């Protein structure tokens, strides 16, 4: 219990820091605004959203993800089947050379299944994203309010919530 309290306090301190850019860069990729929603105490699933762009004139593909805080982590997309929206695992999400892949509510996202603990607002969850070309990239997703429709960082507050079923330049193969 004390360790959880200390972890929450350290996370809040880190979030309050003016250096918090809410963007993570690797040699090949930029991952902007990784975030998730807070979960109820008994909730065992969550979703992580973000924007991913390449730092070069080459494409890449998100093919997997891992987190020590969930039993299973999958890439999911939404599709309409017989007028019913269905969420299903996909093999990957294409990251275009010029543009970005948008993982957003109602579209592609990272699904956390079998959460080991609830996701508390204003904390972070560690993730390792796996790409075909860039390999593994470690990030932390900020946990927003339970009803959040988008990341609440300073530079995204004025942006409207993503429309449609995600994608915005990204492609998936079921």
In DSSP notation, 26-76 reads -SSEEEEEEEEE---TT--EEEEEEEEEESSSS-EEEEEEE-TTEEEEEEE
3 and 110 Cβ atoms separated by less than 8 Å: no
Bridge partners of 104, per DSSP, are: none
Asked whether the predicted pLDDT for residue 173 surpasses 50, the reply is no
Tell me the average pLDDT across 70-83: 92
Kindly give the pairing relationship between strand 29-37 and strand 135-144: parallel
pTM here is 0.74
Cα dihedral 17→146→123→163 (10° resolution): -60
Asked whether the predicted pLDDT for residue 64 surpasses 60, the reply is yes
Helices (H), the chain: 2-16
The percentage of the chain sitting over the pLDDT mark of 70, rounded to a whole number, equals 73
Tell me the average pLDDT across 118-138: 96
The residue among 15, 123, 70, 53 whose CA lies nearest residue 62 is 53
Domains of the chain: 2-148 (2.60.40.1890)
pLDDT digits (tens, 9 = 90+) for 35-58: 999 999 999 999 999 999 998 888
Backbone angles phi, psi at 10, to 5 degrees: -65, -40
Q: Is 77 helix (H, G, I), strand (E, B) or coil?
A: strand
Asked whether the predicted pLDDT for residue 117 surpasses 90, the reply is yes
* Predicted local distance difference test score (pLDDT) of residue 174: 43
């Amino acid at each position: 219990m004390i360790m959880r309290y200390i972890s929450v306090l350290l996370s809040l301190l880190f979030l309050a820091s003016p250096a918090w850019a809410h963007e993570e860069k690797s040699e090949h990729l930029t991952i902007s605004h990784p975030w998730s929603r807070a979960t109820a105490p008994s909730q065992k699933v969550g979703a992580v959203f973000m924007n991913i762009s390449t730092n070069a004139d080459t494409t890449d593909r998100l093919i997997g993800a891992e987190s020590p805080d969930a039993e299973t982590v999958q890439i999911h997309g939404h599709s309409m089947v017989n007028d019913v929206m269905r969420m299903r695992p996909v093999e990957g999400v294409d990251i275009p050379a010029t543009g970005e892949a948008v993982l957003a509510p109602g579209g592609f996202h990272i699904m956390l299944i079998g959460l080991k603990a609830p996701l508390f607002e204003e904390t972070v969850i560690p993730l390792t994203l796996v790409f075909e070309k860039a390999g593994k990239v470690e990030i932390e997703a900020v946990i927003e309010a339970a009803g959040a429709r988008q990341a609440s960082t300073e530079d995204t507050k004025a942006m409207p919530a993503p429309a449609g079923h995600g994608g915005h330049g990204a492609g998936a193969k079921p």
